[in-house]
A and B are shown apart, each in its own frame.
Chain A
Amino acid sequence: MKDHGISVIRRWLSGFLQKHVHGMITCRQFDSFVLAYLDGELPAHQRLLFERHIKFCRQCQEYLAAYQRTVKLGRAVFPSPDEILPEAVPKI
């Protein structure tokens, strides 16, 4: 990776802020909130922390976007049950 040195410094700075600034969560904690956030089940306080994290963490922003596209693609590549039914089978 060409900007390996910069990535390491950025990660260290990000880790330092997450650890020492009140009301911040780490990317690892963010990861554990993703499913509940997308299901709308994250309690208000954790939701606030989640949304604050994503504002300044580019890696998690990109990660979440790719995760959401993955879920959509997974759903899209399987035909819906109606499509599987042969036409000759009458629907009840």
Chain B
Amino acid sequence: MSTEQRQQARILRQAANVRDRQEEIVRSNIGWMIAVAHRLLKDRALAEDAVQDAFLAAFRGLDQFEGRSSLKTWLHRITVNTALMQLRQLKRRAEAQFDEYLPEFDRFGCRIEEPWEHSASVEEILDNEQHRVRIHGAIEDLPDAYRIVLLLRDIEGYDTSETAALLHISEGNVKVRLHRAREALKKLIEPILRGEPIS
């Protein structure tokens, strides 16, 4: 066997050892790591994604693991970080989608709104059970920060200061969230408000 062949064989043996070690780390830690991520994300599929990211990050940085804490403590921290990253991405996505439902204005500050050729009355809309279900669903679909304020102010009947105290936010913040929630809800149920047939 030449020197070059011996070197290649050594590299392959090392790679196989690394693979075995990584498999062992995955097998003995994946269960509790998914449980940790699941507690933070409240969704099994998202938790699995976070754990996959955590293992990738861990294996990339395995050389830097200095053994000052246990491997489990180190992996725990990485799992929490990747789960929190998922949460931040989800929040950003929800906020970005939410912005689409807010009113639009042109550069002169004028409202851009399709003319209302026809509109259905509140009574007409409420007579239709399908419409009621749609509106209920649209409220449920609002991001939590807005949905909760809408529920407390418009449905549970709390005033602005009571809502602010319950949520530990300022009254100004309650007003902004409530107005945005109503605006978004209006946009979400606009076909119903316009009396358009819904599929």
Q: Is A70 within 8 A of B110, CB to CB?
A: no
Among B105, B115, B116, B132, the residue within 8 A (CB) of A77 is B132
Closest CB of chain B to A26's CB: distance in Å?
Answer: 3
CB distance from A14 to the nearest CB of B (A): 5
Given contacts A66-B186, A74-B182, A77-B139, contact A16 B108 (CB under 8 A): yes
Q: A15-B106, A15-B110 are in contact. Are A70 and B136 (CB under 8 A)?
A: no
A34 to B189, CA, bound (A): 19
A59 with B111, Cβ < 8 A, contacts A31-B103, A66-B116, A73-B125 known: yes
Question: Which of A12, A27, A39, A67 meets B105, CB within 8 Å?
Answer: A27
Whether a CB of chain B sits under 8 angstroms from the CB of A35 is yes
CB <8 Å contact, A67 and B108: no
Which residues 64-119 of B have a CB within 8 angstroms of A?
103, 105-116, 119
- A18 pairs with B119, CB closer than 8 A: no
CB nearest to A8 among chain B residues: B106
- Does A21 touch B at the CB level, under 8 Å? no
Asked whether, in the complex, the Cβ of A70 is within 8 Å of the Cβ of B182, the reply is: yes
Q: Taking chain B's interface residues, is the majority helix, strand, or loop, or is none over half, making it mixed?
A: helix
Whether B122 is near chain A, meaning CB under 8 Å from some CB there, is yes
Give the residue of B109, B113, B119 whose beta carbon is less than 8 angstroms from that of A28. Answer: B109
User: Is A48 in contact with chain B by the CB < 8 A criterion?
Assistant: no
Decide if A27 touches B110 in the complex (CB within 8 Å): yes
Bound together, the chains give a CA A68 to CA B112 distance in angstroms of 18
Q: Is the CB of A14 within 8 A of B185?
A: no
Judge whether B190 is part of the interface by a CB distance below 8 angstroms: yes
Produce 1/0 per residue, B131-161, CB < 8 A to A: 0100110010000000000110011000010
The distance from the CB of A56 to the nearest CB of chain B, in whole angstroms, is 12
Cross-chain contact B175 with A77 (CB below 8 angstroms): no
Residue in A closest to B193 when the chains form the complex, CB atoms: A66
- Chain A residue at minimum C-beta to C-beta distance from B184: A70
- A35-B179, A70-B193, A74-B135 given. 8 additional CB < 8 A pairs? A26-B109, A27-B109, A27-B111, A66-B119, A67-B183, A70-B186, A72-B122, A73-B135
Using CB atoms and an 8 Å cutoff, list the residues of chain B in contact with chain A.
103, 105-116, 119, 121-122, 125-126, 132, 135-136, 139, 150-151, 154-155, 160, 175, 178-179, 182-183, 185-186, 189-190, 193
